[in-house]
Structure formats: structure tokens, C-alpha cells
Structure 1
Amino acid sequence: MPGYKIDLNSVKDMFKKVYLFMLLGAALACKAAPSHPVKVPGSNDLQPDEKQMIVSRYIAQMITTQNYKKVELNDSLSLVIYNKYLKMLDENHNYLLASDVQSFEQFKTKLDDDMKTGDLNDVFYIFNVYQKRYVERVKYSLTQIDNNFDFTKNEVFTFDRETLPFEKSEADINELWTKRVKYDLLNLKLASPDMAKNRETLRKRYQNLLSQSNKLTNQDVFQTFMDAFTTSVDPHTNYFNPFNAAQFNMEMSRSLEGIGATLQSENEYVTIKTIVPGGPAYKSKLISAEDRIIGVAQGKDGEFQDIIGWRLDNAIALIRGPKGTVVKLKILSKASDKPKVIEIVREKIILQEQSAKKEIRTYNSNGRTIKIGIINIPAFYMDFAAYRAGDANYKSTTRDVKLILDTLKRMNVDGVVIDLRQNGGGSLPEAINLTGLFIKSGPVVQVRDTRNRVEVEEDEDPTVSYAGPLAVMVDRFSASASEIFSGAIQDYGRGLIIGSQTYGKGSVQSEIELDRVIPTSIKDKILSLVSQTPAKAPAGNVSTFGQINLTMAKFYRINGSSTQHKGVTPDIKFPSLIPMDKYGEDTEPSAMPWDTIAKSNYTKAGSFTAVLPTLIKLHDDRAANSPGFKYQLKVIADYKKRDAEKEVTLNEQALKKQRDEDEAKALEESNTARAALGLPVLKKGQAKPKNEDLDFNKIEAGQILTDYILMDNKLSSNKKAE
């Protein structure tokens, strides 16, 4: 959970305590490394650099001494890390041979020592072997494209091989990939009979895979291994390399500094896919979607760098930059073969599409018209940099929602639904502040740190932004800050919780920029030991060493229960469209257990005990007769059926028949649900209208709140009559 308070001085003190160990480790690594790089012909032969060596040692120290879930970095954990790393590289057993995996056995209980000393040679050796096999498989596939495949044979292609053993020989794995090529071509053939064009399409697809593989760097290898390491300890402790750290912080703040365009790599070109309304690119009127950026220069007099064939992240880093600075772009539009040069002054871009949004739905019931305001909150975001800088207009979830609530009140809504589905969390202070918009004051969440000290985080503002009827929608992907907010609303009896059981993430993470906590003197000395230039402050918001989101505490509801593992149980339950057995904290092997502490001292704002049985019955009656809910249950059942499948036929006639039947059945069920919503039915092949709302659960949540409003009004009238 980003946003938890941390004493950076204590972290710096920890670094100082291990300073001598680090210096000794660095010296040993330089003078007598435990192992030497082993070249793997056929791969990019990627090798670790000194910064990665430093970061690995620091993070090993932090996780074993500062993490809430203190673990010993030993052979047992090394085995877990090894298995996870191997799974991340080749989960489906499509590339590596059994002999490759056997050669890796020597590293199973060695990775813990490698992390402590910063020796990443074993890690990179494993990756280089994997990449060699990956390239071999794709190159072999390219040789099979022109085969004259017989699509009348009753063959099958096994696409899910996770539980199958690694292939023993190159002949065996080649047979697997021949079937893969046949399956890819069959898919294209079912869409178009032009086999010459299909073969060329597939050839370009495979060549693009090779191109992307060639662009991999040691940063990719290091990030992958660090993911395997950190999640073996705790599913929510993560290391971000410098680029990924910038991306994470951009998403947290819902803002960035740049030109205001989303980019994508297509056929070696950095292509503009969308343009942010109101941003610099939009205001220039010189850039359009699908334009290709072929060169970038910094400032009015900077020299152009050709970025054709570049990795997307490297190109993005070049195009982004501090607001007020100039970037020159060499643009190639689809309408012209002649590039044009434009200058753009970078600005701070607010990502409105990823911010809280509102809508109003009207319900007619028992002769009354009820207006329900629905606020969708995609994340608990906060622009920490703007806040720290004293910007009075900093971007945050609470500020955005308060403005929306003020608007909804002026529009005289009868109730409000807060939609937290798919909201994976974010800033802890924002969860507390948002809760404060709906309660007078009081505790919101309890936080227990690594020393078992419990701190009660409270809303201290007695003002209430909205006091009317309230419901909160959640699903399996509602996590962390979403669970704090919905749990507090439920504990106070302030609103109805509607949906499916939440994720169950009850741990709190602190964002620690390694550049800030590693003293400059230590960085310079370590880097000088390995003949590197002393660390310098990075340009813009890009760090030198990256960032770690470290689990520092565990949070508990004010009723004393942790949401860890169990999440928040809704008052009124919907079937989960998200597989509960595949996603959720209780599916993570390294997750912390559920437990309880003493409850906080708080006064409930209300209770739904008296009305809940009636609300549930009204919902169940509607759901039993709702084509929309029946459609959703069918979607869930179909997913489970498809998920159990592990192979597909390579017989063209059989596959076409199966897909035609599935498509016709899905269209029929979808049209039944559409008709129930008063929407026109669709014909085969007809595209769905854009921005069409088929969200049955959202509609039903508003109806449930409408039921409550009518019941509450009736109860109030009866009390007055008495």
C-alpha cells in the first residue's frame, strides 16, 4: 500500500550499519567473484552491471531486516526463488529443454548467496540459455511457415503445457512448434482464405518476436529476477528499475510531464495511438493518431536521435521531460513519405481518463423516480510530488470525489454508489481522507508495524461532504485501499457493501527511492570501487538505482479484523466474474495469514440489520428472473469450461464448426440480455455500439440502493405517523 509513513533516517541508519559489509562485499566481488560470466552463444549474452550488483545486495538486506514479514535468506528460500524465476521465464514449458533445466539444478540453493554478495552471473546465465532457446524456437517456426499443412487431419495442439514435463530432445520440441505454426496459420485461414497473405502475416509476426527479443537488455533480466525474488518473500514487496519506478509514480499521481500522447511500438516504429485532450500534442494541431515518431531532439538546438527500432521504454524516456522544456519530434505521417519536424513545449498532463468519474442513473419504482449518482474510482491516487511542493491544486482521489459529490448534491441525487470494482488500491492517506467525506470523524484503519506497535489512523475532520444513502460496489480485484475504505464504511454502518468478496490484501507498502536513502558518500565509494563514475542526480524524475515498495506494516479494520486473506465480505453478494480460485491473496503462497487485534473505539453511524434480509430477497428475486444475471452466470460457466481445456483441434472443419457454434450461442445469449435492457439485438458480425453500457451489476447496485431509499422513506413515514 503506497503512502504509508516511513522514517527515511531509520533506513539510512540501517544502510550505515551494513556499510562495512557492503564495502567488503563489493571488494570481494571485484577481486574474487564467486563465479564468472559464462557466455551463451546464440543469445544476446546479457551481463549484469555494477549498479545491479549494488541494488541486489541492498535489497537483500532491506527485505531480511526491514520487511514486515522478516524472512531468512537461506537455501529454502533460494529454492522458492529459483522455481519462480524459472516459471516466469518459461511457465508453459515451450522453450527450454529438459537438459537445460537439469543444468540449472546447481543454482537451486545458490541464489540466496548470490543475492547477498551481488553475484548475478548465475541469474544471467539462466536467462541467456532461455533466450537462446527462445530464438531457436522462433527461427525454427519461420522455417515451417511455407509447409503444405494438411488441415483435414485429426491432430491436436496442446497449448497448455504447464503441468507437462520439459521436452527431452530438439526433435520433440520442434514437433511441438510445427503444430504451433500450423495452429497459427489455421487461425488466419479461418479469417481469410488468402494463404499467401496469411503466411506473410505470420512471417512478420515471428520476425517481430525476434526483433523484440534482440532489444532485451540487462535491465529486463534484472527486473524479472528481482520480481521472482521479492514476490517469493511477499507478493506485494516489489523492486522497480528506474523506468518502471517512473511509470509507477506517474500512475499513482495520475499525471505526467511530457507531450500528452500514448505511444506503442509497431513494426519498429514508435507510433502515436491516442492524444490527451488539452495536452501539448493536442494543442499543437500538428500531431495525429497513427503518426510515427522517427527522431527526437532535446531543446531548440539539440541534435536528433533516430529512434526507429528502439525499445518503447527508451523512446518514451527520451520524449518525456520536465514541464517547460522543449522537445523536437521528427514525425512521419501515413499520408506522407516526407518527415516533418515540430517543436513542443512539455507540460504537466493530468490523466483525466484514469481519474474518478460520475454518472447519474434514474430508477422508477412504485410511482417514484429515484436519481442515483454513481462515482467510479479507478484507484486511490495522489500526486505526492505536487503535494510536497505545496501545490494547492495537487491531484488526489479525495479532492476529485469531493468535487463530484458537490455536483451530485446540486443535481439533487437521492443516493450515491461508489464503484470500487477493479480498484487495486493506492495511497493509504487517500483511503482515510475519502472515508472522511462520509463520516463525521473517528478511526478508519489500524496499522501494526514491524515492532507490533498499533497506530490508529483517524479522520480528524468533523465535516461530512455527503450524508445521504450510500452503497459501495466491490469485486475480487478491489484491494488494499479499496478494502480499507469499504471495510470502514461497513464497520460504521454508513453504507451497503455490494458485490463479491474482495482481494484480501492487508499489507502496507512504503515507496522507498533508493537514491534518497542510500547516502551519497556510500554510493560514490561503492561505485568508485567498481571503477564507475560516482552517482549523479538523475534528470527529471528518473532515478539512478530505482525504487522498492517494501511491506512495512499490516492493516486492520476498526473492528479488529485484518482484511488479509479474507478481504471484505459484501452485505449483498453478486456472482464473481473474476475466478476466485485464481486471483486473490489466498491464492498467493507467500502471503501473510489472517489474524485479529483489539477493536478501535468508534461509534456506528447506522445499521442495515433490520432491512438487509428484505433487500437481499428483493435482489435475489430480480436476479432469478433477470436475463442479464443469467447471462453473467453463463459467462462464468463458459470461462470455467474453457479454462479446463488444454488442447485444440487442428482439423479445419471441426474447429470452424466448434467456433461457429460457440459464436452463435454467445450472440443469442448476449441478445437476450440486450433485449432485457431495451437495447437493439445485434446480427452476426455486427459491431457493438461504442460506449454502450451493459454493466448489469452496476445497474442492479443502483436498484438495490433505490430499494433501500424507498424502504427507509417508508420506515421514516411510519415513525412519524406513530
Structure 2
Amino acid sequence: MIYKRLLLSLLPSIALASGSVSAYEKLEPPHDYDQVAQEIVATLESVHYNKTLIDDEISEQAFDNYLDALDPSRSFLLKRDVESLSQYRNTFDDALRNGDSQVAYDIYNLYLERAEARLEKVLAEIPDMVKSFSYDVDESLNADPDKLAWAETETELDNYWRKRIKNRALTLKLNGEEQQDIIDAIERRYRSQLRQIDQTNAVDVFQSFANSVTAALDPHTSYFAPRASEAFNINMSLSLEGIGAVLQMEDDYTKVVRLIPGGPAEAQNELAPNDRIIAVGQEGEPMVDVIGMRLDDVVDMIRGERGTNVVLEIIPATSSTQNSKKITITREKVKLEDQSAQKKIVEVERGGETFKVGVIELPTFYSDFAAIQRGDRDYKSSTRDTKKLIEELQEEGITALILDLRNNGGGSLQEANSLTGLFIPAGPVVQIRDASGRVSILGDQDRDVAYSGPMAVMVNRMSASASEIVAGALKDYGRAIIVGDQTFGKGTVQVLQEVDKGQLKITQAKFYRVSGESTQHQGVMPDINFPSLINTDEVGESALEKPLPWDKIHETRYPVYWHFDEYLADLTSLHEKRIKQDANFVALEDQIAYVKQQNEHFKSISLNERTREQQREESEQSGLDRENKRRQALNLPTIEDVDDIEAPEEDVYAHEAAEVILDFISLYQQNH
């Protein structure tokens, strides 16, 4: 029996299942998974959107993917090992097709031998190594993953490990740790990594092998072995307990992909997308270094009983140095009501008159399916809640409306469709093209319109999937001007299909706007760009490996209500003039320029203590200067410590979006 489910959200990455294996015990293929391998090939070739033949070209990509999964930081294998293993480069396709995965275990067993020998050697040397470090030597550690190469010799690899350990020791020293505590912390890291390697079982290896092949097709197709499949299904529910963050592995780091709307991390406002978590601690216990740790184990450490605190040591994505900081988050359960639509009013003074612009913040496209199944006529849904909020805002006398889809990672396609219908009469909303080329159209059948006035849709790089469908439809219909940043670009549909053991999440279709343009890869481009600290080169579909491309199909028939294009030049000019005089945006632009400049310099990490201290001092002083410049422009008291910097009480983006839509109303009235 095949089980399918549409997957429209940005989905969490799931790490391998855990088991156990004693040191140096070679792993052998589990032959009860031979049929699974053949099922995976058959399903990929028949169901995947591209219907790609699993051949030698795919095998070569899969081979590279597999080595990257095993040794992402080039820490264990030598160049000669990789050259020797290259004999298997063209065999991954045949191995999967024939149900014989021995090749994956031959490669893994060599990695296992190298990794255990290296970690045991490192653990024996850490105390003396840390005590011998001189932090006044001018040397650096390569921090650019694109320039990491396989070491030629053991001596070269020894030096690389020495620098890695020295960097961690220096980071802890700069954070005020004593030498013995530094030694203990680093030993904990590598004991943990060794333990995790030793706990890897044959099913883990099979899953990694299968996913090396699926990743060669696109970043959203993957195989989940039974335990990982169970974890995936738990993560798909709205009952998430922990900090409310979607995490994935990148190189040896646990990286924050996005924050769950309504979750503790979003409310606490110190964790952000692209931050890297390098250590996790429980209240009253030592921090545990998680660099190189498996994702599922990191997640298990972060999760816990609601009301308890977890301490995270992070390297912020916006930091211009490699220095870390600690943050504390109280664990809670993310509930449906915490993700509900909310309203507020932005007041704008113009010509002695106050204009009210309504804002509806929509964190996700939700529907209480359990209440619907119970027959509850008063069930919650994003469309119902938004319609009610629109009515309330109209009663409060708003001049225009903003739909805020920032950080909205998607949700229910049906809700995205019906919510779009609140702003247009009956008509198409999204086109869906399947692997056979057939195009189906999903649209609004209800001719009633909840709001017909001027509006804007606010998006950012974390607006994805269903959010992009809504923003794209309202843009094409000329119902809203789009403001903010380029959206994520996830315009593909995944289904879950059961195989003999576990599940295959497979890309089966693509979304297209009514204009015929895909939302895949490119996303939805804003009409008016707002400055953003999110680097689109590092976050978004285009930053992933092997994303499906942007393309275009035939447009559908649809009316255009407002011709925003005719006003964009004037609207852009007014917007740019305004933000150049807005102290909040001036400070933001300065920070973006500073971080961009510094990040180019910090692709190599200095291991000199004084240099690192200077970098931190310069970074903190730069942040303090920007904040005080902003405060002086706003006639606010200045501050003396960077730790006293707080986010502006006013949502400057929402205020500027209100200004833009009011500009449009004014220009439109002048021309009519």
C-alpha cells in the first residue's frame, strides 16, 4: 500500500538512526534491505519529477555526496584514500539497482578505521596539546568550506587537527574558561564524536548510501529508514516540544534553517536562521560540544521537558568574527494557537493627518484538522482567522492592508488557495505540473471578497512554498504590491511513499503561478526591495545542492486589478529617499555593509589571541557606534555597552510597507 501526503512546508532535516557497533568492527549490508534498494531505484525513475535514469552520471554525484556525508570537513580520509575509493565512483547506480550495497560498506569501513584511529590519537594528545598552545603566534585556520582539500599526508592532517583544536581552545579561553575546563570540554567533544561513530549501525549506513543517490536528483528527495521515518512524522505534526527551530547539518555544524512561528526561539529573539550551534548545555551541567555530532543526537539534547532551560553556544550568522556567544531558551510546546494569524495597526502621519494601515501577521498556513474531523463547525484555520481580522480592522477604519508573510515557511496548500480567495473573486490561484507534464489548476471558487482595497504583501527570504503561492498570485492579479526580499524559492511538491522498510520522500510536481512562472529556485521577487541581513547566497533554494531549475509554462486567464508596474519607478524613488533618512534603516544598511565586508576577511580564522580580541572589540565597537548613531538621530539616550542593544520597539519594515502602500494610494489618486 502506498501512502502519500503533500508536503508544502520547509521541512526539517532528519539525521541517521542510531544503533551500536564495537570499535573497528566492520559493518556488513543488512540483506533484508536489498529489496528496499531496488524499490528506491524503481520509484525514483518512475515517480520523480524529472524521471531521471539512475546511471553512471548520477553515480558519480552520489559518490561525492557519500564522501561529503561521511567526512564533510575532510578530517579523516587522506587524498590517497579518496583516490583509492574512486574505483567505486561509477558503481553506486548498479549497487542500488541490483540490491547489493556492499560498495557503501567497503567505503564506510575504511572511513570507520580512519576516524576511530584519528579520534583515539587526538584524545590521547589533547591535554598536552592544549597546554603547549602559544596564542601569540600568527597562524590561521581555513574557514572556507569551498577551499577545503583532502590532506596529502598524515603530517598535514595532524597540523589541520592541531589548528582545529587550537581554535576551539582559543574560543573557550576568550569566553573566560580556565585551561583544565578547556581540556575537559574538548575531550568531551571528541569522546562524544567517537561514541557516535561507534554507535552507527548497518541501517544507518544504508540510509546514508541511499540518500547519496537521492541528493543527486534534488535537495528535497530523501529516504528515511524506519526510525528516521518515525522521527520525520513526529516533526510534521504541530506538537513540537523544544525550542521551535528547524535544524540541519552543514559540514560539521548544526545550522539553524528557520524558526518555528510561535515557538520559544522566535519569541526569545536571540537565535536566527543560519546561526551555527556549537555546544549545548542543560541547567547546572557542563556544556557539551556538538561540532561533528549527528543531528538526531543534537536534537535530542535540545529537546526536553517544557519549562526547563537549554543553553546554546552559537556562532551568529551576522557575526563578523568567529567568536561565539551563549543564549538560554526555555523549552515549550509549539501549539496551533501560537501560530495563529494576528493583527495590528501601523499609524502613519502625513500632512497633519493620521492614516491607519492594518497588518495581518500570518506565521503559517494552518487548519485544525482534528477539530474538522470532530465535526466542530468553529474550527480554526488561517483563512477563517484572517477573514475575521480583516473585518475587525475595517471596523477600526484602516486605509490599506498589509499581509505579512515574513518567515512563513508554508503549510496547507488548501489554506493558501482559500486565503488568496479572500482578496480576489473566483479564479485560478496556482498551477501544478506533474512528472508526466500534466498541469492541474487549483483556484478559488467563492466569488465573495473579504477585502478589495489597496494592499501590500510583505515577504523575506524565509517566506517559502505556500507563502510564495499566495504572494505570486496576488502579484499577478495586481491585487497587492510585494515588498521585502526575494522569497525562498521552494516551488516543488513532495509526496511520502512507503517502501518495504521506511519511507521515500520524493519530489513529484512543481508549482507555477497563474502567469506561468515557476516559484521554484527564483521565488517571488519583490516590487520594492527592503534591505536584509539574510544573505540570499547562503539561504534559500538556490543555496542548496542540485535544486530543480526555474522555468515557465503557459499562463492562465486571469484579470489584473491594479497596474502597480506603472507606479514602481516613483514608488521605488520615494522608498529609497525615505529609508536614506530613516535612522533605523541607515543603521541596518551600515550593519549589512559591515558584515559583508568582514565576512570576506574571516574565511580564514586567526589563531592569534590578540588579533581575535581586536576583532571582537572592533565588531562590538562598530555595533555600539551604529546603535548610538541611530539613537542620536531619534533623540534617544545613548548606551555604553553593546549588551544593552535591543531591537527597535517599532517594526520598521511594517512601517515602511505602510508608507509604500500609502504612496501608491496617493499616486493613484493623482492619476484618476
Cα displacement (A) at 1:411: 4.0
Cα displacement (A) at 1:440: 1.7
Q: Given the superposition, is the C-alpha separation of residues 673 and 85 from structure 1 closer, same or farther in structure 2, using an over 3 Å criterion? A: farther
Q: Given the superposition, is the C-alpha separation of residues 650 and 614 from structure 1 closer, same or farther in structure 2, using an over 3 Å criterion? A: same
* AA at the equivalent of 1:654: T
Cα displacement (A) at 1:229: 2.0
Check conservation: 1:443, 1:458, Cα contact below 8 A. yes
Q: Indicate whether 1:621 and 2:605 are aligned.
A: no
Q: TM-score, normalised by structure 2?
A: 0.77
Check conservation: 1:405, 1:465, Cα contact below 8 A. yes
2:37 corresponds to which of 56, 63, 67: 56
Query: Secondary structure of 2:557's match?
Result: coil
Q: Given the superposition, is the C-alpha separation of residues 333 and 407 from structure 1 closer, same or farther in structure 2, using an over 3 Å criterion? A: closer
Gaps of 5+ in 1: 6-38, 265-273, 278-288, 294-309, 320-328, 335-347, 524-544
Cα displacement (A) at 1:705: 2.4
Structure 1 equivalent of residue 92 of structure 2:
111
Looking at structure 2, the residues matched to 80 and 676 of structure 1 have their Cα atoms a distance apart, in angstroms, of 54
1:458 corresponds to which of 443, 450, 458: 443
Q: Indicate whether 1:653 and 2:635 are aligned.
A: no
1:573 corresponds to which of 523, 529, 533: 529
Check conservation: 1:93, 1:161, Cα contact below 8 A. no
* AA at the equivalent of 2:409: G
Looking at structure 2, the residues matched to 475 and 658 of structure 1 have their Cα atoms a distance apart, in angstroms, of 30
Looking at structure 1, the residues matched to 649 and 36 of structure 2 have their Cα atoms a distance apart, in angstroms, of 47
Q: Given the superposition, is the C-alpha separation of residues 218 and 683 from structure 1 closer, same or farther in structure 2, using an over 3 Å criterion? A: farther
Check conservation: 1:252, 1:383, Cα contact below 8 A. no
Check conservation: 2:624, 2:642, Cα contact below 8 A. no
* AA at the equivalent of 2:576: D
2:50 corresponds to which of 65, 69, 73: 69
Q: Given the superposition, is the C-alpha separation of residues 372 and 599 from structure 1 closer, same or farther in structure 2, using an over 3 Å criterion? A: same
Q: Given the superposition, is the C-alpha separation of residues 53 and 440 from structure 1 closer, same or farther in structure 2, using an over 3 Å criterion? A: same
Q: State how 1:58-97 maps to structure 2 within 5 Å.
A: 58-97=39-78
Q: Indicate whether 1:3 and 2:6 are aligned.
A: yes
Cα displacement (A) at 1:70: 1.1
Looking at structure 1, the residues matched to 536 and 41 of structure 2 have their Cα atoms a distance apart, in angstroms, of 32
Query: Secondary structure of 2:387's match?
Result: helix
Looking at structure 1, the residues matched to 648 and 32 of structure 2 have their Cα atoms a distance apart, in angstroms, of 50
Looking at structure 2, the residues matched to 211 and 582 of structure 1 have their Cα atoms a distance apart, in angstroms, of 31
Deviation digits for residues 122-180 of structure 1, max 9, x if unmatched? 22443343344444444444322343212222222223354243112322211211122
Cα displacement (A) at 1:590: 3.1
Structure 2 equivalent of residue 175 of structure 1:
159
Query: Secondary structure of 1:239's match?
Result: strand
Looking at structure 2, the residues matched to 476 and 316 of structure 1 have their Cα atoms a distance apart, in angstroms, of 26
Structure 1 equivalent of residue 290 of structure 2:
none
Structure 1 equivalent of residue 487 of structure 2:
502
Query: Secondary structure of 1:630's match?
Result: helix
Q: Given the superposition, is the C-alpha separation of residues 702 and 229 from structure 1 closer, same or farther in structure 2, using an over 3 Å criterion? A: farther
Query: Secondary structure of 1:123's match?
Result: helix
Looking at structure 2, the residues matched to 56 and 403 of structure 1 have their Cα atoms a distance apart, in angstroms, of 50
Structure 2 equivalent of residue 159 of structure 1:
143
Q: Which moved more, 1:360-369 or 1:180-189?
A: 360-369
Q: Indicate whether 1:485 and 2:470 are aligned.
A: yes
Deviation digits for residues 194-234 of structure 1, max 9, x if unmatched? 32333333333433434444444445444433433222112
Looking at structure 1, the residues matched to 621 and 462 of structure 2 have their Cα atoms a distance apart, in angstroms, of 30
Check conservation: 1:560, 1:598, Cα contact below 8 A. yes
Q: Given the superposition, is the C-alpha separation of residues 681 and 375 from structure 1 closer, same or farther in structure 2, using an over 3 Å criterion? A: farther
Structure 2 equivalent of residue 636 of structure 1:
592
Q: Indicate whether 1:602 and 2:558 are aligned.
A: yes
Q: Indicate whether 1:564 and 2:545 are aligned.
A: no
Q: Which moved more, 1:560-569 or 1:407-416?
A: 407-416
Q: State how 1:126-525 maps to structure 2 within 5 Å.
A: 126-142=107-123, 143-146=125-128, 147-160=131-144, 162-192=146-176, 194-250=178-234, 252-255=236-239, 350-382=335-367, 392=377, 396-510=381-495, 512-514=496-498
Q: Given the superposition, is the C-alpha separation of residues 425 and 263 from structure 1 closer, same or farther in structure 2, using an over 3 Å criterion? A: closer
Cα displacement (A) at 1:358: 3.6
Cα displacement (A) at 1:617: 1.6
Q: Which moved more, 1:69-78 or 1:591-600?
A: 591-600
Check conservation: 2:627, 2:645, Cα contact below 8 A. no
Looking at structure 2, the residues matched to 74 and 573 of structure 1 have their Cα atoms a distance apart, in angstroms, of 43
Q: Given the superposition, is the C-alpha separation of residues 119 and 410 from structure 1 closer, same or farther in structure 2, using an over 3 Å criterion? A: farther
Deviation digits for residues 303-360 of structure 1, max 9, x if unmatched? xxxxxxx95778999x9xxxxxxxxx9x9999xxxxxxxxxxxxx9734444444443
Q: Given the superposition, is the C-alpha separation of residues 586 and 203 from structure 1 closer, same or farther in structure 2, using an over 3 Å criterion? A: closer
* AA at the equivalent of 2:524: V
Looking at structure 1, the residues matched to 33 and 533 of structure 2 have their Cα atoms a distance apart, in angstroms, of 41
Q: Which moved more, 1:547-556 or 1:672-681?
A: 672-681
Looking at structure 2, the residues matched to 437 and 548 of structure 1 have their Cα atoms a distance apart, in angstroms, of 36
Q: Given the superposition, is the C-alpha separation of residues 355 and 290 from structure 1 closer, same or farther in structure 2, using an over 3 Å criterion? A: farther
Cα displacement (A) at 1:290: 6.1
Structure 1 equivalent of residue 319 of structure 2:
none
Cα displacement (A) at 1:242: 4.3
Deviation digits for residues 30-60 of structure 1, max 9, x if unmatched? xxxxxxxxx9984564555456444332222
Check conservation: 1:3, 1:426, Cα contact below 8 A. no
Query: Secondary structure of 2:483's match?
Result: strand
Looking at structure 2, the residues matched to 90 and 402 of structure 1 have their Cα atoms a distance apart, in angstroms, of 51
Query: Secondary structure of 2:556's match?
Result: coil
Cα displacement (A) at 1:369: 2.0
Q: Given the superposition, is the C-alpha separation of residues 688 and 57 from structure 1 closer, same or farther in structure 2, using an over 3 Å criterion? A: farther
Gaps of 5+ in 2: 9-19, 246-259, 264-280, 286-295, 311-332
* AA at the equivalent of 2:580: A
Deviation digits for residues 427-469 of structure 1, max 9, x if unmatched? 3222212211211210111222222222221101122233333
Query: Secondary structure of 2:630's match?
Result: helix
Give identity over the alignment, percent: 37
Structure 2 equivalent of residue 120 of structure 1:
101
Looking at structure 2, the residues matched to 312 and 388 of structure 1 have their Cα atoms a distance apart, in angstroms, of 35
Looking at structure 1, the residues matched to 79 and 302 of structure 2 have their Cα atoms a distance apart, in angstroms, of 39
**Aligned length, in residue pairs:** 591
Looking at structure 2, the residues matched to 413 and 633 of structure 1 have their Cα atoms a distance apart, in angstroms, of 30
Structure 2 equivalent of residue 306 of structure 1:
none
When the two chains are superposed, the root-mean-square deviation of aligned CA atoms in Å is 3.9
Check conservation: 1:396, 1:430, Cα contact below 8 A. yes
